[in-house]
Amino acid sequence: MDQDKSRLDEKIELGSSQTTKKLPGSILHCCSPFTSPSNSSTLIPRHVITLIQAFPFITDIAMENGSRRRHHGHPPRSGSQNVVQGIPVVHAAVMDRNQDLLQTILTRQPDLINAYDEAGRTPLSCAARCGYAEMVEYLLKEFPISISKRDKDSSYAVHKACLGGHIDVLKVFHSYSPKSLLVQDRNGRTILHVAAKEHRDKLKHVVTYLVALPDIGEQLLSKTDEEGDTPFALASESNNCQIQKILKQYMA
């Protein structure tokens, strides 16, 4: 990696304008969709250099992801849009908790806030699942519309935060928009349904937090999914005795 980085540094030249730098096309190819190579090299705005400088850590994430795919019997992804093994650069910035890089990327390409990674997650859902509260807070502040964006499985970012057991992230969502905790996935399930159903009382701490929320907790308790099941019914189905006990304490 150090050797590759030194070769990159040697090929960086200042252009005639102070707002541009000249980089080899093979490196710029890694920055798609920001720009694409033309012949052997092309000029790009200086702010895109931030992304170039992030290339080493993005590559590290890609290698780790590629190893996981091989471990599960899947070949690494290929193609010009998959230089980082299917991880969009915006998701890579989220996973690295690099807010400066994330801001640079989304300032240049704000539509990437709607991009999906190979798991079908938006950048907000990726941050929520990882438990990165500060990244979730930043994305909600700068891109409020992202809170209503579904993942490819038709769930929302709050569902991912719930599955990860990240109460601190759920608190961010609640602070930003209390009603965001009431959204339902394609099965009509809220985050309380999801937490109540998870086996072995795994998410009992999430259940305890949710049912204690003024107004919101009461609404979550009474909501039914597409099958007509309440969170308590799903907890019973999963034999989550501790969660059943918690829910009973708050049921009218």
Residue type, 243: I
115 class by beta-carbon count within 10 Å (0-12 exposed, 13-18 middle, 19+ buried): middle
pLDDT for res 160: 98
* Sign of the alpha-carbon dihedral angle for 162, 168, 171, 172: negative
Q: Domain segments of the chain: what residues?
A: 88-165, 184-252
The more confident residue out of 248 and 46 is 248
What percent of the chain clears pLDDT 70, i.e. is strictly above it? 65
What number is the average pLDDT over the span 1-13? 38
Give the global pTM.
Answer: 0.71
Highest mean pLDDT among 17-31, 41-55, 120-134: 120-134
State the CB neighbour count (10 A cutoff) for residue 182: 15
The pLDDT assigned to 174 comes to 98
Superfamily assignment of 88-165 in CATH?
Answer: Ankyrin repeat-containing domain (1.25.40.20)
pLDDT digits (tens, 9 = 90+) for 167-184: 999 999 999 999 999 999
Q: CA angle at residue 118 from 116 to 120, to 5 degrees?
A: 50
Q: Residue for token digits 């908790």?
A: 97
CATH of the structural domain 184-252, one choice from 1.25.40.10, 3.40.50.1820, 1.25.40.20, 3.90.1150.10? 1.25.40.20
**Same fold for the domain at 88-165 and the one at 184-252?**
yes
Give yes or no for a contact between 86 and 65, defined as CB atoms under 8 angstroms apart. Answer: yes
- β-strands 13-14, 20-24: how paired? antiparallel
With a CB cutoff of 8 Å and minimum separation 6, the contacts of 68 are none
Q: Distance between CA 114 and CA 76 in Å, rounded?
A: 24
